[in-house]
Amino acid sequence: MSYFPGSVSGIRSTVGLLHHWAAKLKSHAASVGSIANVTTWSGADASQARTTMNRLRACLSHASGAYSSAAGTLATFATQLAAHEANIKRFIRELQAALAAKDPNAYSDFYQKVDKEIDQYWVDVSTAAAALSGLAGGASSYGGGGPYASVLANTVGFKVGQTVGLGGQIDLSDLGLDPLSIGQGAYGDCGFLSTLMALENTTAGKNWIRSHVTWDAAADAYKVCLYKDGEPTTVTVGSVYEFGAGSGVYRGANIASVYEAAITKLVGAKTPQTLNVNDVCGYLTGKEGTLLYHAGAAETIAQLNAGKIVTVSHNSNELSTPMTVAVKDPGGTWRQDQIDLMAPHGYAVLGTDQKGNIYVADPWGPGNTADTGGEIRLTPAQFDSFFDLTWTGSVG
């Protein structure tokens, strides 16, 4: 007898099917990538074909990752559902024993435990549903208008420019201002988000943000101090984009969503949009950024060591470039993995080490299927082979 909606065996069967299709799609992506790497064909047609093949490979890889992530979400829920069922059966046995012992509190204790279990069941259902919707929303990783836009619209009711109330204060602690917690939403504002991540990456940057954001309890909104033409300008933010930037896999409201809404208001746009990183630095700090062409690893590290906000990008129409690099898992473990470095796309530069390696992060954020959202460690040679645009800015 089952006490909760859902079949553990049925869900686990679906998990197996999702893993099967994830493997299939991954294999197809590899095959398409092999075709794209054929070097015996040259000319304009060959170049166009390779571009198309690389985009198709990226789409297949994205879909494979989404299937795998969905399988993981459902596997977790199946385990939780099995535990809920087992707990209810245990509560019934405990009730029978308490009744046999003529415990006057037998029924009240039983109902309290059952009510708590039911509440937790619905929390688990909501968490799983949010994760699955977020994976569908991962279509927005392509800017909201790419090959997954229709899937996004049909799956999670995405509407361009749709906003929701802020609903209270956000976390401005060091944890809340962790650059790796930011997740880009359905809009192509990676330049803005990577710059904000770079700002969050320093103590001075965190303090700058805290000193420029004030909670107005009466208005249930934040007063955000931005800069227009170098002059401080206050923007009131009481709502954020429903499918905009946010925190973590589920993109809850955080400093990124607040600043995203604020800058959009400042520039007079209806939706977040791609902004020149030089301008973003100016909006955030009052000082326009500087663009360096082909700065290379050594100069990028010098800018970072000078306390600059640093973001990088690849000036190419190729959607993605596969590269085997070191990637940091959420648990802190480094692994060698093939990821997709995306273009044109902004990345925040977070640090360096004694070997001259450079650590970058993708504003697509936690759980994205290009690189999973952790720190990415690139050797100087890897960095130089891909990134050819470097933006720097100053705090204060």
| Chain segment 189-220, per-residue pLDDT in tens | 889 999 999 999 999 999 999 999 999 999 99
Beta carbons within 8 Å of 278's beta carbon, 6+ residues apart: 288, 289, 290, 291, 391
Domain of residue 322, residue span: 290-393
Do 117 and 210 lie in a common domain? no
For residue 248, pLDDT beyond 80: no
Q: Are residues 184 and 115 in the same domain?
A: no
At 311, which CATH number?
A: 3.90.70.10
Rounded mean pLDDT, 147-172 = 64
pLDDT: is 71 or 38 the higher one? 71
Listed residue (98, 254, 253, 102) closest to 172, CA to CA? 254
Could you count the other beta carbons within 10 Å of the beta carbon of residue 28? 16
Structure confidence at residue 382 (pLDDT): 96
Instruction: Report H helices in the chain.
Output: 8-36, 44-100, 106-137, 149-156, 190-200, 203-211, 255-267, 277-285, 296-305, 380-386
Domain boundary among 155, 182, 211: 155
What pTM does this model have? 0.64
Nearest to 348 by CA among 300, 297, 389, 312: 312
Tell me which of 155, 176, 191 is where a domain ends: 155
Note whether 193 and 65 are same-domain residues: no
Average pLDDT of the residues in 162-182: 89
Residue 281 lies in a domain: no
What is the C-alpha to C-alpha distance for residues 41 and 332, in angstroms, rounded to an integer? 43
Domain boundary, last residue among 276, 305, 332: 276
Nearest CA to 195 out of 138, 278, 316 is that of 278
Total number of domains constituting the chain: 3
Which of 62-71, 135-144, 316-325, 374-383 is modeled with the greatest confidence? Answer: 374-383
Shared domain for 359 and 385, answered yes or no, is yes
Tell me, yes or no, whether 213 and 318 share the same domain: no
Paired tokens of 247? 């925190």
Structure tokens at 173: 């602690």
For residue 144, the model assigns a pLDDT of 36
Query: Rg of the Cα trace of the chain?
Result: 24
**The pLDDT value given to residue 139:** 41
Residues 325 and 200 placed together within one structural domain of the fold: no
Q: What is the pLDDT of residues 255-304, one digit of tens each?
A: 999 999 999 999 988 878 767 777 899 999 999 889 998 999 999 999 99
251: confidence class by pLDDT, cuts 50, 70, 90:
low
Q: How far apart are CA 311 and CA 346, in angstroms?
A: 7
Residue-wise pLDDT for 80-94, tens only, equals 999 998 999 899 889
Residue among 254, 246, 221, 247 nearest 235 (CA): 221
